[in-house]
Structure 1
């Protein structure tokens, strides 16, 4: 009988490779990328830029299995993030080049995303793992 949820390691590997692909598309080195699988699967990419309204804070690209990608400004560790825009759409795993366009357009002042993230996605970890499979290295 197949287990209804993928193992955490498989999901983490898929998300790590996807985050690396997005990082490459956005122009962020691997060491600025973090993935965590806990009660929520998340990814973080530190971007090498500042936001004009908050020049003392770094900009980051964050992903969650419930909301997809968001562009945010880092704040003090005890404060909530200041979200600039959510990519929006139904696909929690958009192509890396689509994420790169979202970042470039938002940074340029063309807010193509959503200010409100909309409803929480209902993707299961199993369906998420399936969507991330193409990013895993293929056996030779």
Structure 2
């Protein structure tokens, strides 16, 4: 019998492998990434660079199943991050090379994406798991 939703562990592995591929494309070590599956699937990559307008704060690349990839400046823990750029388009799981180009363009001062006014085309957990399948390194 087929389950309508993937289990959290499989989804977390798929997302982890995808974010690992993005980390490699961006030039970030795996130790600088986190993935979490809870009410929302999210990922974080700490980038080894500073933003010119806030030189005392780190830059981060974050992903959520509702908004896709965003580049932001970390602020004090009590404050929301400062958005630099939002990956445009409808694909919430773009190829790692496309994410790396997005980051390079944004860091160079080009803002290739725009903030989406609301959630992008929603992905079900099942469709998200399907989109992440090509990035799974191995199946148990």
- What is the TM-score with the length of structure 2 in the denominator? 0.95
Equivalent residue pairs, number: 139
- What is the TM-score with the length of structure 1 in the denominator? 0.95
- Tell me what 2:118 maps to: 119
In 1: Cα distance, 2:109 partner to 2:119 partner: 26
In 1: Cα distance, 2:117 partner to 2:134 partner: 27
- Tell me what 2:9 maps to: 9
Structure 2, unpaired ranges of 5+: none
* CA offset digits 1:63-116 (Å, max 9, x no partner): 0000000000001111111111100211110000000000000000111111x2
> Is 1:64 matched with 2:74?
no
Structure 1, unpaired ranges of 5+: none
**CA-CA distance at 1:2 after TM superposition:** 2.5
